[in-house]
A and B are shown apart, each in its own frame.
Chain A
Amino acid sequence: GENVEQHPSTLSVQEGDSAVIKCTYSDSASNYFPWYKQELGKGPQLIIDIRSNVGEKKDQRIAVTLNKTAKHFSLHITETQPEDSAVYFCAASISSGSARQLTFGSGTQLTVLP
């Protein structure tokens, strides 16, 4: 089955700096890659996603890049703010037939220092 590895497990940055979180996946059939942000006491919330027919996607301060050949994808947050502090999860999924399950990475605790 699919295996997703996520690095780093913890990341501290100064407010205003950029943060990068990287994930690799094992199944070349995976074609959907969402990123979720989980704040304390809340459930994961989708912040951005990318499909395998696209190499990069951007939404304001957040961007995701995908390298299908190398089977890795990354989340980039620019101009970080204290409210960006949370746990971030990457995930991969095969959109085929009835298969819909997400396989998650182990999460990255991002701390933005004021």
Chain B
Amino acid sequence: EAGVTQFPSHSVIEKGQTVTLRCDPISGHDNLYWYRRVMGKEIKFLLHFVKESKQDESGMPNNRFLAERTGGTYSTLKVQPAELEDSGVYFCASSPGSTRIQETQYFGPGTRLLVL
């Protein structure tokens, strides 16, 4: 079974540009999460999808970040315009069901974003 995949693995952009990150969860997983780790600090929650619906977006830092999950399959996270402080590693995770108790979240390898 394929794990969570993320694309691209690395991205280097200039301040003010736009970047779109993609996450493909494990097939059949309803729950999809975005997290990020900035400057070697803790991994912080950004948002949670259940199928195509945003269940919790309390961790989104500001309106420069837009996440979508059309059709309830893969998800994209767009940063527009990117700022220096957006640099970090963006992780996607998925878990199976939408109504069960807390389940294991399976993480992807991350996208390393550097904003210059």
A residues whose Cβ falls under 8 Å from a Cβ of B? 4, 6, 31-32, 34, 36, 41-46, 49, 51, 89, 91, 93, 95, 98-107
Contact = CB atoms under 8 A, between A and B. Distances in A.
Contact of B95 (A36, A43, A100, A107): A100
Interface in B30-77: 31, 33, 35, 40-45, 48, 50, 55-56, 58-59
Given A45-B107, A46-B106, A100-B56, A95 B43 contact: no
B78 to A, nearest CB: 21
B108 A43 contact: yes
A6 B42 CA distance: 10
Q: Categorize the interface residue count of chain B.
A: 20 to 34
Contacts of A103: 45
Given A49-B104, A101-B33, A103-B45, A43 B91 contact: yes
A89 B106 CA distance: 14
Contact of A93 (B41, B44, B50, B102): B102
Contacts of A4: 42
